[in-house]
Amino acid sequence: MSKLENIESQIEELSPQELAAFREWFTKFDAEAWDRQFEADVTAGKLDSLAERALRDHAAGRSTKL
């Protein structure tokens, strides 16, 4: 059994209360991981071209207020 299959099996055995607590924990864990990856991408300049394009489009009048 793979590590993932083992985790899945253990999750399936959780009580409704344990599953709710796990879901809450995982939501926070996943959001924090996403934030770390986003910050790493910003620091590495991976989003620079997108920002530059958005600013050019805005300066050219190709944007609208939300």
Which pTM was predicted? 0.69
Q: Is the pLDDT of residue 1 over 90?
A: no
Q: Can you say whether the dihedral through the CA atoms of 38, 42, 45, 48 is positive or negative?
A: positive
Residues in the chain: 66
Kindly state the average pLDDT of the residues 48-64. Answer: 96
| pLDDT score of 45 more than 90 | yes
DSSP codes of every residue in 11-37: HHT--HHHHHHHHHHHHHHHHHHHHHH
